[in-house]
């Protein structure tokens, strides 16, 4: 009986230690609100469903650097299938305080994360669902544009007309040769 009590006490002592390092989970529902303001500590996570999948953003660590405090984020798009989604590591600070993410890699930003401030080892973050095409700053072109259908391409139409003219000329020549 004493062994059972000892095991129970050990488990009761270990559980709070394990849970202390894991942080809390905050669920966001962008179908109800397009923007959320969240105060996060180290290892806190934000979970939300969007684009037919569950996504997670973890505040890995708040650090003091030479330029000030920074917030290191881990972004897990499509968290249930890590092999497909992978993980992105991002640092937000006073200079780079806004991040736009394309969760499904279709050329449209889906989520905007903004760092408002870091105070007392707490980060104030704003999560906002957006729908914004992004443009290459060097060329001014939209990245990952939607491909055109083959018949929408002007070159295809011109090639079709030229091919049709050549076909008509060949038919006319064959018919002239048969009459002779």
Is 28 a domain residue?
A: yes
**3-state secondary structure (DSSP) of residue 128:** strand
Contacts 24+ apart (CB under 8 A), 85-91: 85/53, 89/60
34 shares its domain with 106: yes
Asked if the model's pLDDT at residue 20 lies above 80, the reply is: no
Q: Over pLDDT 70: what percentage of the chain?
A: 71
Domain for residue 147, yes or no?
no
> In terms of domains, do 121 and 174 share one?
no
Q: Residue 167 belongs to what domain range?
A: 152-179
Asked whether residue 35 is domain-assigned, the answer is yes
Same domain, 99 and 166: no
Burial (CB count within 10 angstroms: exposed 0-12, middle 13-18, buried 19+), residue 54: middle
CATH classification of the domain holding 27: 2.60.98
Query: Model confidence over 137-166: pLDDT tens digits?
Result: 555 555 455 555 555 566 767 888 888 899
pLDDT for 134 equals: 66
Q: Are residues 21 and 92 in the same domain?
A: yes
127 shares its domain with 157: no
Find the mean pLDDT for residues 53-63. Answer: 88
Mean of the per-residue pLDDT values for the chain?
77
This prediction has a pTM of: 0.61
In a domain, 139, yes or no: no
Domain count, the chain: 2
15 shares its domain with 95: yes
In eight-state DSSP terms, residue 102 is -
DSSP strand pairing (35-40 vs 25-28): unpaired
pLDDT at residue 18 greater than cutoff 90: no
* Same domain for 167 and 117: no
Please check whether residue 143 lies inside any domain of the structure: no
- Residue 26 pairs in a beta bridge with 46
For 75-102, the pLDDT digits (tens) are: 888 755 545 556 788 888 877 788 888 8
Q: Which residues pair with 61 in a beta bridge?
A: 72
The reply to whether 142 falls in a domain is no
Dihedral of alpha carbons 74, 77, 79, 85, sign: negative
Residue in the structure block whose two tokens are 């020549």: 173
Residues 54 and 127 both lie in one domain: yes
Are 45 and 128 in the same domain? yes
Query: If you average pLDDT over residues 6-32, what whole number do you get?
Result: 68
With beta carbons less than 8 A apart as the criterion, state whether 113 and 103 touch: no
- 20 within some domain: yes
User: Taking residues 31-56, what's their average pLDDT?
Assistant: 88
């Amino acid at each position: 009986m004493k062994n059972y009590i000892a095991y129970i006490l050990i488990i009761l002592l270990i559980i709070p230690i394990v849970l202390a390092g894991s942080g809390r989970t905050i669920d966001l529902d962008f179908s109800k609100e397009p923007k959320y303001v969240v105060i996060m500590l180290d290892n806190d996570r934000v979970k939300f469903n969007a684009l037919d999948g569950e996504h997670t953003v973890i505040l890995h660590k708040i650090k003091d650097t030479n330029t000030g405090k920074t917030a290191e984020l881990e972004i897990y798009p499509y968290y249930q299938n890590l092999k497909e989604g992978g993980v992105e590591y991002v640092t937000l600070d006073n200079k780079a305080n806004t991040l736009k993410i394309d969760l499904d890699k279709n050329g449209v930003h889906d989520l905007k994360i903004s760092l408002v401030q870091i105070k007392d080892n707490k980060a104030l973050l704003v999560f906002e669902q957006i729908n914004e095409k992004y443009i290459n700053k060097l060329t001014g072109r939209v990245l990952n544009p939607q491909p055109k259908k083959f018949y929408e391409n002007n070159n295809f139409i011109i090639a079709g007309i030229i091919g049709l003219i050549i076909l008509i000329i060949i038919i006319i020549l064959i018919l002239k040769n048969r009459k002779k």
